[in-house]
Structure 1
């Protein structure tokens, strides 16, 4: 009998690091809760102003606030609100030319006294550009000059020194996200709209339609339900890439069932070879779940995951098969593919 293995001991230094890391995250979470509780009607006014904007939302900020501003501008753009980032230092050296009277400026500064931001204020007023401020101090120069002020309040910063922008920048980002998403909802921004702005990567693939992803044409195996299993498999055999399922149709071409390679394997495992010469309709899965070609791929992924199936027929309005979503083509997009039966 083997000796019991001693329990692993976490070094003290690692315990201290974990405790410190968790504490910083908790501090930032507390800061966000405070900002959420204190969000005023000015937020609604900011939403109205941006919705009415006929130009762009120009986001500006210096230092860490500038990096947050770039993310907010990107989020606005990707959710249906044209936006760009303007570096405040570059603005006073010629980049102010990108601003127009029909734009809205969203300025970020926790202190509200950032030199580069304050230099912009006079120029913005002369251009009659609407100014929305996200700042920690309602009595600051920026807040006083803004048409609308979204106050974060006196949050303080996280960590032992409480100097590096942490709570303040996290709060700015959260308020920017809230603006972008509330505005997006009020615009009626749809998943299809989102897909147009995100054609690349895993997210872009998820946002495609079924028609853009399904196998079709010569990649499909379609046969009449009255044929025998043997005749169907021999008649549809092909050396190149093929789907793992045969879609069965009636005399009118309507989908009536599906027969997969796994179904065939089960017959062979059960030594039911005699069934190979009976109509495939006797062993096919009748009335399989289907999806339309114009549905979102996310809907197809949900069906594959929830039903734990590997092939999903795509049908037209008359119920005739026009394609097939095969799990091998989308397996990397599924939320959970572990222990999935074929």
Structure 2
């Protein structure tokens, strides 16, 4: 299987992962709980992860910021080398790890507990160390990664990205965030130009 055939098979695997996520939201009140905590936060929403999850985390933090929720990303490795100084008690920290056992992410937990922040994890394993240590654990499931080796973060990273989009947009909707508000934070590019008119 090559080319378009391979691509369509890969996309179908990722779609299946999103279908499982869609179905699971009906049974899990954790999403609403996370949404409530994030909407009431007096500080910032900070996202942390490493690897491909880190790239997804940066996008989630950027989406939150542009849709009305002050947010930024901390690389988990940098966190234990001083960047945890950016975190304050009134913040919420979203921690992403597909396995829930990523050492660099877990290493943040003792300090985050001492600071007293609320932690939200996004992981496939609700029994993992990270999920069990978090105040709110958002978990997901999928049948396989979409690459031919079933190894590269593909299905899992897409699911995390969609969870982040869902949180950011649901928060924005909850806050009655308007086009004018969006333009305030996004005056540049074609989006900014279109909103100016």
Q: CA RMSD in A?
A: 1.0
Q: Could you give the per-residue CA deviations for residues 172-209 of structure 1, whole angstroms, max 9, x where no partner exists?
A: 0000000000000000000110111111111111111x
Residue 51 in structure 1 maps to residue 51 in structure 2: no
Partner of 1:38: 24
Of residues 169, 173, 182, the one that matches 1:185 is 173
**Which residue of 72, 77, 92 corresponds with 2:65?**
77
TM-score, structure 2 as length reference: 0.97
1:132-170 alpha-carbon deviations (Å, 9 max, x no partner): 000000010000001111101244211210000000000
Distance in 2 between residues matched to 1:119 and 1:185, nearest whole Å? 34
Shift of 1:123: 1.0
Distance in 2 of aligned mates of 1:140 and 1:100: 26
Cα distance between partner residues in 1 of 2:4 and 2:141: 29
5+ residue gaps, structure 2, are none
Residue in structure 2 matched with residue 29 of structure 1 by the alignment: 15
**Whole-angstrom distance in 2 between the partners of 1:159 and 1:84:** 30
Q: Contact 1:136/1:155 (CA < 8 Å) preserved in 2?
A: no
Of 161, 175, 179, 1:173 maps to 161
Does the 8 Å CA contact 2:121/2:130 hold for their aligned counterparts? yes
Q: Which has a greater percent of helix?
A: 2
Contact 1:108 1:135 in 2 (8 A): yes
Superposed CA offset, 1:107-134 (max 9, x none): 0000000010010111111111100000
Q: CA deviation at 1:93?
A: 0.6
1:198 lines up with 2:186 in the alignment: yes
Correspondences of 1:249-264 after superposition (within 5 Å): none
1:87 paired to 2:100: no
Aligned residue runs from structure 1 range 167-246, under 5 A? 167-208=155-196
Superposed displacement of residue 36, structure 1: 1.2
Match of 2:94 in 1: 106
Structure 1: how far apart are the matches of 2:127 and 2:188? 44
The whole-number CA distance in structure 2 between the counterparts of 1:73 and 1:163 is 26
Once the two structures are superposed, the pairs formed by residues 295-334 of structure 1 within 5 Å of their partners are: 297=197
Within a 5 Å distance, the mapping from 1:105-184 to structure 2 comes to 105-184=93-172
Paired residues of 2:17 and 2:141 also in contact (CA < 8 A): no
- Between the aligned partners of 2:83 and 2:185, the Cα distance in structure 1 is 26
Structure 1: unaligned runs, 5 residues or longer: 1-14, 209-296, 298-342
CA contact (8 A) 1:28 1:166 kept: yes
Query: Could you say what secondary structure the match of 1:205 adopts?
Result: helix
Aligned residues: 195
- Higher radius of gyration, 1 or 2: 1
Judge which range, 145-154 or 59-68, deviates more.
145-154
Q: TM-score, normalised by structure 1?
A: 0.56
**Structure 1 CA distance, aligned partners of 2:143 and 2:100?**
14
In 2, distance between residues paired with 1:20 and 1:156? 15
Q: How far has the Cα of 1:101 moved from its partner?
A: 0.2
